[in-house]
Amino acid sequence: MTKILFVINPISGDIDKEDLMEDLKAFGRQHDLTVDIFKTTGEEDEKKLKEMLASYKPEIACAVGGDGTVSLTAKSIINSEVALAIIPMGSGNGLSKDLGIPQNIDEALQLLVDHQKMAIDTLDVNGHLSIHICDMGFNALVVKRFCGGETRGPGAYAWIAMQEFMAYEPKKYTIKTDGKTIFDGEAFMITVTNARAFGSNAAINPTGVINDGEFEICILEPFPKSSSLGILYRLYTDTIDDSVYTHRFSCSSASIINHAEEVSQIDGEPEDLGKTISFRAQPQNLHVLLPPQAV
């Protein structure tokens, strides 16, 4: 029987997790799966999860929650044969959307018994693991405020973004790859990713391939506020590359000097990465479960 370890934060979100955990166990019995549950506590979760993985030895580690739970689970199984499954229950659910995983809980659960397995790339960011998107500038500041607030959901994020947009001042960055400086100037936002889109479905990297051994550096230069609606339109129609304010570079390693040392964010969590940030692609070192029809 396939062994599955569900990783769940029992106190997050608005759903009764006790009922959900019983549903997960019932799903396991229905499909002849061996199931156990790891509950996060906020104290040494990664260490404890790795210990449970080592003793339980599952074939699948299933993150039940938002970006934080997905990131914790991925960190604990990176460079192993254990596959990551996702039951999306967060505000953004960025990676699961990029992978084509259903956002409905029941449909996502079905992937545990009917799926394909694929190895995807990840990023090393100053020693931190990124499985989806890292950025600095405007969005990172919004993420910091969002994570520090009490209200969740897309509406809360959009409200913070509108507030910050009116006052935000672009910052200076210097970007180097292969020993060459490819950008030196001010930017509204710099996104580093091998995926396509944010959890909001805004496609900052519309042609991104998540397992090609490279990542993209997407630069959004300062723009007049009168152009903001046009940029939003392009982000949501996969045409951001047509904007005169954007540039995109593909590489397998790079460094960015964040001259203002402004906060960055990795997979939905704010991080103070310092002035010099190094990025390195880690090819196909995370196995994930995808829908059978996914590429």
Residue 120 counted as domain residue: no
Please say whether the dihedral angle defined by the alpha carbons of residues 248, 96, 45 and 157, taken in this order, is positive or negative: positive
Alpha-carbon span 276 to 259, nearest angstrom: 8
Q: Is the domain of 179 the same as that of 207? A: yes
Rounded to an integer, what distance in angstroms lies between the CA atom of residue 178 and that of residue 169? 29
Above 60 in pLDDT, residue 87?
yes
Structural domain count, the chain: 2
In a domain, 246, yes or no: yes
Domain identity same for 132 and 273: yes
Same domain, 132 and 272: yes
* 151 is a domain residue: yes
What CATH number does the domain containing 42 carry?
A: 3.40.50.10330
Is 291 a member of any domain?
no
The torsion defined by the Cα of 230, 236, 237 and 239, in degrees rounded to 10, comes to 60
- pLDDT given for residue 15 in this prediction: 63
pLDDT tens for each residue of 165-207: 989 999 999 999 999 999 999 999 999 999 999 888 899 999 9
Q: So what's the pLDDT on residue 91?
A: 72
Residue 119 lies in a domain: no
pLDDT score recorded for residue 115? 94
The predicted pLDDT at position 100 comes to 92
On whether residue 295 sits in a domain, the answer given is no
| 234 and 160 assigned to the same domain | yes
Domain that includes residue 194, residue range? 128-282
- Domain annotation covers residue 53: yes
% of the chain with per-residue pLDDT over 90: 79
- Is the domain of 244 the same as that of 213? yes
Q: What is the CATH number of the domain that holds 145?
A: 2.60.200.40
Please check whether residues 89 and 134 belong to one and the same domain. Answer: no
- Does residue 25 sit in the same domain as residue 67? yes
Domain end (from 87, 114, 141): 114
Question: According to the model, what pLDDT value does residue 193 have?
Answer: 96
Model-wide pTM > 0.75:
yes
- What is the SS3 assignment for 180? strand
User: What's the pLDDT at 129?
Assistant: 97
pLDDT computed for residue 261 by the predictor: 95
Residues 21, 79 within the same domain = yes
Say if residue 46 is in the same domain as residue 83. Answer: yes
Quick one: 40 and 98 in the same domain? yes
pLDDT reading at 295 higher than 70: no
Choose between 246 and 91: higher pLDDT. Answer: 246
The band of 12, judged by pLDDT with boundaries at 50, 70 and 90, is: low
Residue 122 included in any domain: no
pLDDT tier at 45, thresholds 50, 70, 90:
very high
